[in-house]
Amino acid sequence: MPDVGTTRILANTVYRGAADVGSKLISIAFFVVLARQLGESGFGVFVFGLTLAAMLTVLAGFGQDQVLTREVVRDRSRLDEYFANTVALKLTLALPVLVVSALVMAAAGVDPETLWVVLLLGIALVAEQLALTCFAVYQAFEQLVYVPVVIITQRLITAVAGIAAVLAGASVVAVSVLYLGGALVAMVLAYVLLVRRVARPGLLVNTGTWRRLLIAAAPVGVASVLSLLMFRVDTAILAFLESDAVVGAYGAAFRLFEATLFLSWAVTTAVFPVLARLSVTSRPSVGEVFDGSLKLVVALTLPLGVGMAILSEPIVHLVFGQKFDEAVVPLQLLSPAIVAYSIAFVSGGMLVAQNRQRATAIVYGAMTAFNIAASLILIPARSLDGAALAALLTQIVLAFALLGIARATAGSIGWMRVFAGPLAASAALALTTFFLRDSLLAAILVGAIVYLVGLAAFERVAYPEDARRIWAFLRQSREPAAAPR
């Protein structure tokens, strides 16, 4: 990767990844205890409320934050305009929908407990969206160190208070109140860190700019919705055609696949501000930095894809137990999609950074239709294996499509520089894990060492500048430093 703050990009990748890993671990503990203590009925009300609340507040996260980050990266004097109006626009798009929906549910005779859960969790999700606007400013100023502080604080407060409450016999409504409290704390903390550590945006709202903001954000929002639909449609079709047990086995495999996606999100979040301020003719060019981000995300995800394909059976047995044997083959089929997804996600992020969000929305629309067609053909013939194959084919075609547009936008890609090192090191990883596959822990530990040593040796010989920058980052990360301002 060209030296455009490589250390900062790598550090921000670590910060974003730490936030995702930490929050996932804490959330798992929270939901496990919640399900066991509330029972199927109470937990069902909570899950339904969270799902419905997310649907009702979807317009609050319809691409506004990505536009804010992109425009503020290019001109920091526009922070006042974008921050205040993004916050006001989110509130305007979400709160009235929540209020009207609550009134309709009340008029329809919906159980008061369910009604309160939906309303409380809906307000909590709006608060989370306002915190995400602060995160968008962190991203624009390349200060993602504060993201894990906010997210992990929120998850800890929610989990500790929620677990203590349900163990003491609290109702699902009380748990929803605590969830809202955690979200409000996160919102306030995110804003305090913003004004004290990053920047102090003005709070003047100008409704005359909202139409322009919505037009700029709409393709990003449409792409996000289509991406979510594309990600879930194979499961929906499988559920329509097969039993709950089959859907559960596929869901287990898909959860393991999804657990790796935070790496793509972390890299894209960290590199997005750099991509937004560069161009084809800048020095370095956007294409050079895009090459570096591709290389980083492939180096992180390719060993996961290879290892998960070879060790799918012991991984499934460890996490879900031997009764989920049917999940093994779908996980093997989904494993290459880990890499395809990462390439597609980074490519899509680059296109949004370069104002090509409409192309991204069109591609996601086409890929949603492709996944529906592939699922309708493959699932009746191959059941859950067909669903996994449809998902894999969709991710591969998506990666090629977005990478092709990205290449046309940013310029030629250094294929050898991006893929040679990770491929060579992954070949060594594959041999190691295959021979050690009967011992999962040994296969993971030895395989990881073999991959890292092989990758470092290859890069040191073939691309010493890239190796030097990575080593400088690792060395610097061991040294204590004051928090950035």
Secondary structure of 188-215 as H, E, C letters: HHHHHHHHHHHCCCCCCCCHHHHHHHHH
Mean pLDDT on 425-453? 95
311, 331 Cβ separation under 8 angstroms: no
Per-residue confidence band for 234, with pLDDT thresholds at 50, 70 and 90: confident
User: Tokens 């499988």 appear where?
Assistant: 238
With a pLDDT cut of 70, the percent of the chain lying above it is 91
Across the range 439-460, mean pLDDT stands at 94
Instruction: Determine the Cα angle at 113 with ends 109 and 119, to 5°.
Output: 90
Confidence of residue 4 (pLDDT cuts 50, 70, 90): low
Q: Across residues 187-212, what is the average pLDDT?
A: 93
* pLDDT, tens digit, 9 for 90 and up, residues 285-333: 898 889 888 999 999 999 999 999 999 999 988 877 888 889 899 999 9
Q: Is 205:88 a contact under the CB 8 Å cutoff?
A: yes
User: pLDDT by residue (tens digit) across 348-405?
Assistant: 999 999 989 889 999 999 999 999 999 999 999 999 999 999 999 999 999 999 999 9
Look at residue 106 in the predicted model and tell me its pLDDT: 93
CA dihedral (399, 400, 405, 410) in degrees, to 10, reads: 80
pLDDT band for position 480 (50/70/90)?
A: very low
pLDDT of residue 481: 40
CB 374 within 8 A of CB 394: yes
Instruction: Please give the Cα distance from 466 to 459 (Å, whole number).
Output: 7
d(CA 114, CA 118): 6
Mean pLDDT of 13-18: 68
28-72 pLDDT, tens digit each: 677 767 777 877 577 778 877 887 888 788 888 888 999 999 999
What pLDDT was estimated at residue 41? 72
Q: How many helices (H) and strands (E) does the chain have?
A: 16, 0
Question: For residues 331 and 315, what is the distance between their CA atoms, to the nearest angstrom?
Answer: 10
Q: What share of the chain is helix, strand, coil (3-state, %, to 5)?
A: 85, 0, 15
Please tell me the pTM assigned to this model: 0.79
Q: Is the pLDDT of residue 270 over 90?
A: no
Closest CA to 65 of 132, 12, 117, 6: 132
Say what percent of the chain tops pLDDT 90: 54
